[in-house]
């Protein structure tokens, strides 16, 4: 049986997709791939990766994930910038989850910025 696809929605296995970013073997080369890897980090409970990829100006001191929340699916709705030659970018997405037996959706337009050459999550556009 082939490995399950990555939680981020791309066809590769977790290890070949977002797992390689979570281990630190590679850095996400675009804002969208960082967004996808952060969704996967929420899905697998990798708070260290989430904090490591959060801009130092907006990063919380600690992050406690709700064990009753299961992230189930990610849809990318749009993007601006965020490519190999950009310093900033946005990724608009819809994240589906199940919380204590109820389905829910989080929609956000996240802002990303390069910090020391690596993409990091800055904040959500209002």
The domain spans of the chain are 14-125
What fold characterizes domain 14-125?
Nuclear Transport Factor 2; Chain: A, (3.10.450)
Task: Split the chain (126 residues) into runs of 10 and give each run's mean pLDDT.
Answer: 87 96 97 98 98 97 95 97 97 97 97 96 91
What is the model's pLDDT at position 54?
A: 98
Nearest CA among 115, 118, 116, 108 for reference residue 58: 115
**DSSP-assigned letter for residue 101:** T
What pLDDT shows up at residue 19? 97
Its pTM stands at 0.95
Q: How far apart are CA 20 and CA 28, in angstroms?
A: 9
Q: What is the model's pLDDT at position 44?
A: 97
Residue 5 CA to residue 35 CA, distance in Å, equals: 17
Tally Cβ neighbours within 10 Å of residue 56. 8
- Per DSSP, what are the bridge partners of residue 91? 79, 110
């Amino acid at each position: 049986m082939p490995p399950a696809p990555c939680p981020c929605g791309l066809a590769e296995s977790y290890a070949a997709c977002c797992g390689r970013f979570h281990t630190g073997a590679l850095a996400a080369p675009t804002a969208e791939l960082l967004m996808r890897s952060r969704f996967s980090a929420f899905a697998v409970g990798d708070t260290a990766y989430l904090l490591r990829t959060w801009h130092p100006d907006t990063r919380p001191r600690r992050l406690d994930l709700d064990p009753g929340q299961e992230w189930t699916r990610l849809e990318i709705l749009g993007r601006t910038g965020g490519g190999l030659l950009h310093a900033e970018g946005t990724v608009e997405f819809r994240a589906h989850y199940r919380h204590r037996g109820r389905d829910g959706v989080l929609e956000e337009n996240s802002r990303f910025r390069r910090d020391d050459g690596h993409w990091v999550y800055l904040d959500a556009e209002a």
